[in-house]
Structures are given as structure tokens and as C-alpha cells.
């Protein structure tokens, strides 16, 4: 909780990413197999990796097998924690991985080798990265899909990235996919805590209202549990404090992600944006075994304390097409979390009607 086309580059390649594939399907000099182009993705996966490099080093065979079996069209990743390209003191390139030092080159090679191996070699990858090993997002889209546009900010500007790489927005012919890593609310009314989260929520509200011309799938670590049913122990999270501090506004009290203020703002975003929580649309009852996406450390006071803060939010016009939405981790021992403190969450849509396309 503390929580293209950008091709997968060969090691040592300096070729710039392209937003469209070459006519013969080759990128970076590699011949790609011919693929049938699909207009619309139907299966999605989101996961806060809590450091993608660490997952590659420690949990990649298991996660690769999981992805191979699920076979999603789109994979949204948050908390990549890889620094953006650019030497010290120079402007950063948040769409590219840092590789100007021996250690950063080695880390990039490790990561790119993993993303070039099955099944990830079947995907194009985009990055939006912070200046340091903090936050950051990635979006992997199957090569048989062709986004019309990929941007990295809530205002839709292609070249502009949100601070800390918190947004990737891909537009397809029939829908948009928004991958976000929401900033943690923190514990105090300070610039990098409550104030930052309020500004973020305000901009999200503006975005969803202004983007109603096309159906939206909004996914990622949204860092909020909307209702009591979305946490394992509501009383514990409502009463949580950091070093005994109590905010002056009662609505800001409690565990970040479960304060009344955050939950109210999230509800307003759903209402004003005419959006539906896909998981809760299908799963009405509380599930103490598999109903949470974040789990506290197995040792200490947060053992067994869990929250649902990773979502697929869909436009109301898509809700009848929501066939499945599942969390793939369970239990307090973090089974199916693949080394992270978040488990993957998936969404399956049914085929749309021809008139919808």
C-alpha cells in the first residue's frame, strides 16, 4: 500500500520508441510474427508489484506461469520502482529506464530479459517512471492490439508524465484504459499527505467527468477502501493512528485509504463519473479469504489485517459486459501475492455487440 508502442528494447539498443509498428511487423531490427489485429481488449490484469525488479529476481517463474495461464490482453503494473533515464542533474525521460551507470544498466538488463521471455515477449511495454526508485507504472499490451493513443497524464498530453509516473492512459477504438497508482493519503494534513491526495482526487473527478465520450476501464492501486466490507477489520482501520497523532478533522482520522474523507471523495468520483466497481458488482458479500487485495505484514500488529485497494472500475455502459472480476491472492500468509503485499486482480469482459463497436 505504501504502499506503442514502446517496444521492449534489446540490451544496448538506443532506438527510440515508436507509437506505431513498422509495416512488416519488425521493431528494433527484430522480425515479429504476423498477428491478427484485435480492436478491443477483453481480459485485463492489474498488480502492484512493490518493486518490479525484486519480483523479477525472486518471484518471476511463478508469476510468469500465472500470467501464461490467465493470458490477459492488458497488464497494468504499479509501484515499478525503477528510475527514469537521465544522468544526475540532467532532465529525466520518464518513458525510459535509467541505464547511464553500471548498476542501472545491469538492473535494466535483468528487467528487460524478464520482459522478453515468455509470455511477456508477446506484449508491447510502456513506462511512466519517477526520478528515483519510487512509484512508477507500466502498461503491457498484447501485440495483436493497437492503441490509438497512449498518454501519461490526466490531461491527455502524450509527452507529459504525471509526477512520480502515476498514470498511463491507453485509448482503443471502443474504450480507454487508465492505469493509476494513487498517492497514499498519509497521516497528517501536510503537502505530501492529505493535501496531495485531495488534489489527486479532484483531478481524477475532473478526468472521469470530461472523458465520458468513450467507455472507461480504470484500474490499479487506487489506495482507498470504499466501504466497511472492503476491509477485514473496520474498527481497527478506523481507529488507526501514527505515533498517537489525531488529525483535527475527524473525517481525516484512521488508516490511510480508509478515512471517511477519502471514501467520500471516491464515492463522488464513481457517482459523478457514472462508474461501477466491477468486483463489488459481481461479489456482494464479504469474503474473508479472497476478498482483499492488500495484506499487512504477516508479523506484527498488521498480521491478518487486509484491505481491498486495487480495483477495476468500469463505465456504467460496460457493466453488463463484466463477466468476471477476481482477486488472485488469499489468506493472511499472502498466497498468490508473488512476493508483493498486493495480489493481482483480473477483469474479463464479454464480447461487445456490433453496434457498440
Query: For 230-282, how does the pLDDT look when each residue is reduced to its tens digit (9 = 90+)?
Result: 999 999 999 999 999 999 999 999 999 999 999 999 999 999 999 999 999 99
pLDDT of residue 325: 98
Low-confidence ranges of the chain (pLDDT < 70): 1-36, 353-357
- The predicted pLDDT at position 278 comes to 98
Q: How far is CA 271 from the centre of its chain?
A: 22
| Bind-site residues for Mg(2+) | 48, 79, 221, 223, 341-342
pLDDT at 140: 98
pTM of the model: 0.89
**Grid cell digits, residue 215:** 467507455
pLDDT tens per residue, range 281-309: 999 999 999 999 999 988 899 999 999 99
Which runs of E-coded beta strand occur in 111-268? Answer: 123-128, 137-142, 149-151, 167-171, 176-181, 216-221
Cα of first residue to Cα of last residue in the chain, in angstroms, is: 37
Q: Can you give the pLDDT at residue 20?
A: 37
Q: Which CATH architecture has domain 43-349?
A: 4-Layer Sandwich (3.60)
Residue 35, pLDDT score: 58
| Residue 143 phi, psi (nearest 5) | -70, -15
Give the residue numbers marked as catalytic: 181, 221, 342
pLDDT at 166: 98
Element (H, E) at 55: helix 52-58
Binding site per annotation, positions: 48, 79, 221, 223, 341-342
**CB-CB neighbours of 234 under 10 Å:** 16
Amino acid at each position: 500500500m505504501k504502499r506503442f508502442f514502446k517496444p521492449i528494447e534489446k540490451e544496448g539498443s538506443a532506438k527510440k520508441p515508436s507509437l506505431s509498428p513498422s509495416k512488416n511487423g519488425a521493431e528494433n531490427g527484430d522480425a515479429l510474427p504476423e498477428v491478427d489485429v484485435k480492436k478491443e481488449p477483453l481480459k485485463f490484469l492489474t498488480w502492484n508489484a512493490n518493486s518490479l525488479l525484486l519480483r523479477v529476481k525472486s518471484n518471476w517463474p511463478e508469476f510468469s506461469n500465472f500470467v501464461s495461464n490467465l493470458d490477459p490482453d492488458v497488464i497494468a503494473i504499479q509501484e515499478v520502482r525503477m528510475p527514469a533515464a537521465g544522468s544526475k542533474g540532467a532532465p529525466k525521460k520518464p518513458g525510459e529506464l535509467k541505464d547511464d551507470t553500471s548498476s542501472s544498466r545491469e538492473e535494466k538488463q535483468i528487467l528487460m530479459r524478464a520482459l522478453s521471455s515468455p509470455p511477456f515477449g508477446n506484449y508491447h511495454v510502456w513506462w511512466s517512471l519517477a526520478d528515483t526508485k519510487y512509484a512508477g507504472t507500466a502498461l503491457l499490451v498484447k501485440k495483436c492490439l493497437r492503441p490509438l493513443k497512449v498518454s501519461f497524464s490526466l490531461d491527455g498530453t502524450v509527452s507529459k508524465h504525471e509526477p512520480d509516473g502515476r498514470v498511463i492512459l491507453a485509448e482503443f477504438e471502443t474504450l480507454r484504459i487508465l492505469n493509476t497508482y494513487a498517492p497514499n493519503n498519509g497521516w497528517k494534513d501536510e503537502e505530501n499527505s492529505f493535501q496531495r491526495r485531495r488534489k489527486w482526487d479532484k483531478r481524477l473527478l475532473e478526468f472521469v467527468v470530461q472523458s465520458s465520450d468513450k467507455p472507461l476501464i480504470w484500474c490499479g492501486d487506487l489506495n482507498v477502501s470504499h466501504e466497511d466490507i472492503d476491509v477485514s477489520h473496520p474498527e481497527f482501520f478506523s481507529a488507526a493512528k501514527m505515533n498517537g497523532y489525531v488529525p483535527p478533522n475527524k473525517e481525516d482520522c484512521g488508516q490511510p485509504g480508509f478515512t471517511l474523507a477519502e471514501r467520500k471523495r471516491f464515492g463522488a468520483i464513481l457517482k459523478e463519473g457514472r462508474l461501477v466497481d466491477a468486483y463489488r458488482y459481481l461479489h456482494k458479500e464479504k469474503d474473508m479469504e479472497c476478498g482483499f487485495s492488500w495484506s499487512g505484514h504477516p508479523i506484527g500488529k498488521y498480521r491478518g489485517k487486509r484491505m481491498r485497494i486495487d480495483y477495476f472500475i468500469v463505465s456504467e455502459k460496460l457493466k453488463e459486459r463484466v463477466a468476471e472480476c477476481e482477486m488472485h491472492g488469499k489468506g493472511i500468509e499472502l498466497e498468490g501475492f508473488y512476493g508483493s503485499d498486493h495480489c493481482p486482480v483480473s477483469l474479463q469482459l464479454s464480447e461487445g455487440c456490433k453496434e457498440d463497436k
